[in-house]
Amino acid sequence: MSVNVAKLADSKYRVTVEEDGSKTEHEVTVTAADVARYAPNSTAEALLVASFAFLLEHEPKESILRRFDLPVIERYFPEYARVIGKRVT
C-alpha cells in the first residue's frame, strides 16, 4: 500500500491511496493551526501520511471521506488527537 500527498493550494492537498491494484483520491484541508495542534515541528505532508495510516487501520480506503478538513478525523475517532503526534515522522 502507498500513500502519496500532493499540495494543490495553500492548505489543500490531494492524498492518493493505492492498494491491491486500486486507488482512491481524497482532498484534505490542513491548516498551519492543524499542524501546530496535532504534530508541532512537522509538515502538513508528514501529518497527512500518518493520518491516513491511522485511518487505514480503522477502515478501508473506500470508506474514507473524499473531501474533508483534517480535524474531522477526531469526530469519528476521538483518540486521533491523542495518538497522532507520536506517529508523525
| Amino acid found at 39 | A
Q: How confident is the model at residue 2 (pLDDT cuts 50, 70, 90)?
A: very high
Please give the tally of structural domains in the chain: 1
Residue 62 structural domain: 2-87
Query: Which grid coordinates are listed for 44?
Result: 502538513
Proportion of the chain above pLDDT 70, given as a percent: 100
pTM equals 0.95
Give the model's pLDDT for residue 7: 98
The neighbouring-strand residues paired with 7 are 13
Give the model's pLDDT for residue 20: 87
Phi/psi-derived region of residue 20, left when phi > 0, alpha when psi is between -120 and 50, beta in every other case:
left
